[in-house]
Amino acid sequence: MASVRFEGISKVYQKNILAVAKFNLEVEDGELLVLVGPSGCGKSTTLRLLAGLEEPTTGELFINDHPIIDKKPQDRDIAMVFQNYALYPHMTVFDNMAFSLRMKKMPKELITTNVQETAEILGISDYLNRKPRELSGGQRQRVAVGRAIVRHPSVFLFDEPLSNLDAKLRVQMRNELSRLHTRLKATMIYVTHDQAEAMTLGDRIVVLKDAYIQQIASPLDLYDFPENSFVAGFIGSPAMNFLPVSLENSVLRSGDILIQASIYSEVPDGKYTFGIRPEDIYPDADAPLEGRVEVLETLGNENIIYMKFAGRQFTVRCGPQVQIAPGEPLRFSIDISRSHLFDPDGIRVKVDA
Ligand code: ADP
């Protein structure tokens, strides 16, 4: 297995399109690292640079401390799994999986054992004689993963591999990939635009925006300690609520509304953006803050309330017992210890607990 290192990697496409900017990252041996961010932020390009399908404009790439920039894609010992599966339609599942091993001139018996063992792991042993069109989306994706596994590569790259699957199957395959990672102990880099996929799969997550890394952290650290308002708003669903506030003599206000301030007594006076997650707002008939309910979503296990507060849309996540109709006022309190302040540049203000 292998460690991977990006050193100052940038990629500028024609017409000065900056796709990846000053990318520095060390992926540990056996780690499952997720790259996440909105469409166009440079995730796929980063993977393609590592796979050798694109050339970087600047920077160095290493696998196990060996530079690989001058190596051809087929010599990098990397296997890539794509969203569209990229299976050969005229070949059986067995032949699809055996293809790269035949190219490597592996002995026939060894190929058979290898493919059969991998098919066993992925639960596709019964389909080895079928063509891809005779398989469901989930089965095709397993074949695409199997084709990567048989090669025993140093590094696995996944480019949005579950995007073509329906929601339920996506969750199931996500689970299977997690188990596969535990079993193979392989180094994996996984690209997705879906923050829930990133949170559930990643040992660590890299959040990207407009070609730049915003933060590298474990899922829980990203959630609890976002570096900036972009990460805070991107990670978590429903998303964090934001409100422009002013802090004066450690009193926090939004316009005329007094929010509270105690934990921000160390923070300099000024204008900030206040951030609070939907689950840190509590409906409470005796509380001083009041919003007006616009929409109530009852999901069975929980309710999501969309309300207007201080001229903003605010989302509240609460138990199914909270029954309230659109148009009604909702009094609530905020767990201020779970709130964040972001400075005018969007950087989170660090507060000592
Ligand atoms: P993501 O995978 O996060 O959606 P990409 O890495 O595909 O983002 O793209 C990053 C940026 O580079 C986007 O602005 C995209 O339009 C641009 N881009 C990607 N591939 C090419 C290409 N071959 N030529 C020119 N621009 C490209």
Q: Strand 303-309 to strand 312-318: parallel, antiparallel, or no bridges (unpaired)?
A: antiparallel
Domain boundaries, the chain: 4-234, 241-342
266: three-class secondary structure by DSSP: coil
Rg (CA), the chain: 24
* Interatomic CA distance for residues 346 and 209, integer angstroms: 14
Task: With residue 122 as reference, give the H or E element that holds it.
Answer: helix 108-122
pLDDT at 296: 96
203 C-alpha to ligand 1 centroid (Å): 26
| Ligand 1 atom 14: residue of nearest CA | 40
Per-residue pLDDT at 122: 87
Write the residue with the smallest CA distance to atom 1 of ligand 1. Answer: 40
CA–CA separation, 93 and 146 (whole Å): 9
CA pair distance 43, 197, nearest whole angstrom: 15
For residue 127, report the phi and psi dihedrals to the nearest 5 degrees: -110, 10
Residue 261 has a pLDDT of 65
253 Cα: distance to centroid of ligand 1 (angstroms) = 42
Q: Which residue has the tokens 């009193």?
A: 251
pLDDT by position in tens, the chain (length 353): 799 999 999 999 999 999 999 999 999 999 999 999 999 999 999 999 999 999 999 999 999 999 999 999 989 999 999 887 789 999 999 999 999 999 989 999 999 999 999 998 888 999 999 999 999 888 998 999 999 999 889 999 999 988 888 888 889 889 989 988 998 899 999 999 999 999 999 999 999 999 999 999 999 999 999 999 999 999 999 999 999 999 998 889 999 888 876 678 889 999 999 999 999 999 999 998 999 999 999 999 999 999 999 999 999 999 999 989 999 999 999 999 999 999 999 999 998 65
Instruction: Give the number of the atom of ligand 1 that is nearest the alpha carbon of residue 159.
Output: 2
- Is the Cβ atom of 83 under 6 angstroms away from ligand 1? no
The atom of ligand 1 lying closest to the CA of 48 is: 6
DSSP letter, residue 259: -
Is 40 near ligand 1, meaning CB less than 6 Å away? yes
To test ligand 1's pocket by mutation, which of 10, 11, 13 has the most ligand atoms within 8 angstroms of CB?
13
Indicate if ligand 1 lies below 6 Å from the C-beta of 19: yes
> What pLDDT does residue 166 have?
84
Instruction: Reply yes or no: is the peptide bond before residue 268 cis, omega within 30 of 0.
Output: no
Q: Is 43 in the pocket of ligand 1 (CB under 6 A)?
A: yes
- Ligand 1 atom 5, closest CA: 42
Q: 241-342: CATH homologous superfamily?
A: Nucleic acid-binding proteins (2.40.50.140)
Position 353 scores a pLDDT of 56
Query: DSSP labels for 271-304?
Result: EEEEEE-GGGEEE-TT-SEEEEEEEEEE-SS-EE
Q: Is the CB of 45 under 6 A from ligand 1?
A: yes
Closest atom of ligand 1 to CA, residue 47: 6
Nearest atom within ligand 1 for CA of residue 208: 3
Give the residue, by CA position, lying nearest to ligand 1 atom 25.
13
At the fourth CATH level, the homologous superfamily of domain 4-234 is P-loop containing nucleotide triphosphate hydrolases (3.40.50.300)
- For residue 41, the CA-to-ligand 1 centroid distance in Å is 8
Of ligand 1's listed atoms, the one at least distance from the Cα of 41 is: 3
